[in-house]
Amino acid sequence: MNKKLIVAGALVLGFATAASAQEGTVNGAAGGAVTGAIVGGPVGAAVGGVAGAVVGTVLAPPPRRVVSYVEQQPIPESEVVVKQKVVVGKPLPNRVKIMRIPQDPKYAYAVVNHQRVIVDPSNRTVVRVVD
């Protein structure tokens, strides 16, 4: 019975957050709580909610002004090419130089494998590949 209530509550929370277009942290927490409740009951819901919030925060999409800034930056003369594919959610290798975005220090960018990418400078994780 308790498990059904937790799942139902998490589902309602998930729909409410989607309807009000909250940031990635809230959506990640709700999704993690639902998954955790299904797999591990009340304890799973608590753990899943925390894990989902962390993932949702890390992968929150950058604001449009950040994307525009990166799109307008010139391609450096010496580009870096790496063997692995550049993927959202994965960190860039340390040899890739990242440049801070002056208007929003929460983001930086790099050009790697002939692609502009927006990264979280605290952990070098790719948050968006710019087309």
**Residue 3 confidence class, pLDDT cut points 50, 70, 90:** low
* Confidence at residue 86, expressed as pLDDT on a 0 to 100 scale: 93
CA-CA distance, 44 to 41, in Å (whole number)? Answer: 5
21-71 pLDDT per residue, tens? 344 555 455 566 555 566 667 766 665 655 565 555 556 889 999 999 999
Give the confidence band of 15 by pLDDT, cuts at 50, 70, 90: very low
pLDDT of 50 reads 59
The predicted-structure confidence for 74-109, as pLDDT tens digits, reads as follows 988 887 999 989 999 999 999 999 999 999 999 999
With a threshold of 0.75, does the pTM exceed it?
Answer: no
Q: How far apart are CA 113 and CA 87, in angstroms?
A: 11
The Cα 62–Cα 40 span in angstroms is: 33
The C-alpha atoms of residue 15 and residue 31 are separated, in whole angstroms, by: 10
Residue 14: is its pLDDT beyond 70? no
- Buried b vs exposed e over 55-88: b needs ≥16 C-beta within 10 Å? bbebbbebeeebbebbeeeeeeeeeeeeeeebee
User: What's the pLDDT at 75?
Assistant: 87
